[in-house]
Amino acid sequence: MKRDVIERVLWNLSMDRFSKMKFKEDPNKFLSRFVLDESDVEKILTFDVKALQEMGVNPMLTMGYWIEMSPDRSMHTYNQKLGSTGQYSASIKG
Protein backbone atom coordinates (compact mmCIF):
# COMPACT_ATOMS: atom_id res chain seq x y z
CA MET A 1 0.00 0.00 0.00
CA LYS A 2 1.47 3.34 -1.01
CA ARG A 3 0.48 5.05 2.23
CA ASP A 4 2.76 2.64 4.07
CA VAL A 5 5.65 3.49 1.75
CA ILE A 6 5.09 7.23 2.25
CA GLU A 7 4.95 6.73 6.02
CA ARG A 8 8.27 4.86 5.88
CA VAL A 9 9.79 7.73 3.86
CA LEU A 10 8.54 10.34 6.33
CA TRP A 11 9.69 8.29 9.31
CA ASN A 12 13.17 8.00 7.79
CA LEU A 13 13.27 11.72 7.13
CA SER A 14 12.14 12.47 10.67
CA MET A 15 14.41 10.05 12.51
CA ASP A 16 17.37 8.85 10.44
CA ARG A 17 20.37 11.18 10.12
CA PHE A 18 21.68 9.44 6.97
CA SER A 19 18.30 9.75 5.25
CA LYS A 20 18.06 13.43 6.14
CA MET A 21 21.51 14.06 4.72
CA LYS A 22 20.80 12.17 1.48
CA PHE A 23 17.45 13.92 1.03
CA LYS A 24 19.09 17.33 1.47
CA GLU A 25 21.82 16.43 -1.06
CA ASP A 26 19.42 15.21 -3.74
CA PRO A 27 15.73 14.80 -2.82
CA ASN A 28 14.73 13.12 -6.09
CA LYS A 29 17.57 10.60 -5.90
CA PHE A 30 16.70 9.79 -2.28
CA LEU A 31 13.01 9.31 -3.12
CA SER A 32 13.85 7.11 -6.12
CA ARG A 33 14.75 4.35 -3.64
CA PHE A 34 11.05 3.97 -2.85
CA VAL A 35 8.09 2.82 -4.93
CA LEU A 36 6.32 6.16 -5.29
CA ASP A 37 4.40 7.65 -8.17
CA GLU A 38 5.04 11.16 -9.44
CA SER A 39 2.18 12.71 -7.43
CA ASP A 40 3.49 11.15 -4.19
CA VAL A 41 6.97 12.51 -4.84
CA GLU A 42 5.47 15.94 -5.54
CA LYS A 43 3.54 15.91 -2.25
CA ILE A 44 6.70 15.07 -0.34
CA LEU A 45 8.89 17.61 -2.15
CA THR A 46 6.36 20.42 -1.71
CA PHE A 47 5.64 19.53 1.91
CA ASP A 48 1.94 19.16 1.11
CA VAL A 49 1.08 17.88 4.58
CA LYS A 50 -2.65 18.36 4.04
CA ALA A 51 -2.71 16.12 0.95
CA LEU A 52 -0.56 13.55 2.73
CA GLN A 53 -2.93 13.46 5.70
CA GLU A 54 -5.97 13.31 3.42
CA MET A 55 -4.55 10.13 1.89
CA GLY A 56 -4.30 8.62 5.37
CA VAL A 57 -0.69 9.30 6.31
CA ASN A 58 -0.21 9.43 10.07
CA PRO A 59 -0.45 13.06 11.27
CA MET A 60 2.45 12.66 13.69
CA LEU A 61 4.67 11.59 10.78
CA THR A 62 3.69 14.62 8.69
CA MET A 63 4.40 16.89 11.65
CA GLY A 64 7.78 15.24 12.37
CA TYR A 65 8.72 15.48 8.70
CA TRP A 66 7.71 19.15 8.65
CA ILE A 67 9.70 19.98 11.78
CA GLU A 68 12.83 18.17 10.60
CA MET A 69 12.90 18.90 6.87
CA SER A 70 10.71 21.85 5.89
CA PRO A 71 12.55 25.02 4.89
CA ASP A 72 10.14 26.99 7.11
CA ARG A 73 9.75 24.59 10.09
CA SER A 74 7.22 26.98 11.66
CA MET A 75 4.26 25.31 13.34
CA HIS A 76 2.18 28.34 12.42
CA THR A 77 2.89 27.71 8.73
CA TYR A 78 2.30 23.97 9.21
CA ASN A 79 -1.15 24.71 10.64
CA GLN A 80 -1.88 27.12 7.80
CA LYS A 81 -0.99 24.42 5.26
CA LEU A 82 -3.42 22.10 7.03
CA GLY A 83 -6.08 24.78 7.09
CA SER A 84 -6.16 24.35 10.85
CA THR A 85 -7.09 27.09 13.29
CA GLY A 86 -5.95 25.11 16.33
CA GLN A 87 -2.47 25.77 17.61
CA TYR A 88 0.10 22.96 17.09
CA SER A 89 -2.44 20.52 15.72
CA ALA A 90 -0.96 17.40 14.14
CA SER A 91 -4.13 16.43 12.33
CA ILE A 92 -6.76 17.85 10.06
CA LYS A 93 -9.74 19.18 11.96
CA GLY A 94 -13.17 18.90 10.59
Q: Are 53 and 59 in contact (CB under 8 A)?
A: yes
Burial class (CB in 10 A: 0-12, 13-18, 19+), 91: middle
For residue 34, give the DSSP letter.
Answer: S
Q: What was the pLDDT predicted at 7?
A: 98
Q: What was the pLDDT predicted at 77?
A: 92
Query: What residue ranges do the domains of the chain occupy?
Result: 2-82
Q: What was the pLDDT predicted at 83?
A: 87
Per-residue pLDDT of the chain (94 residues; tens, 9 = 90+): 699 999 999 999 999 999 999 999 999 999 999 999 999 999 999 999 999 999 999 999 999 999 999 999 999 999 999 986 554 455 554 4
Task: Please work out, in degrees rounded to the nearest 5, the angle formed at the alpha carbon of residue 52 by the alpha carbons of 49 and 53.
Answer: 85
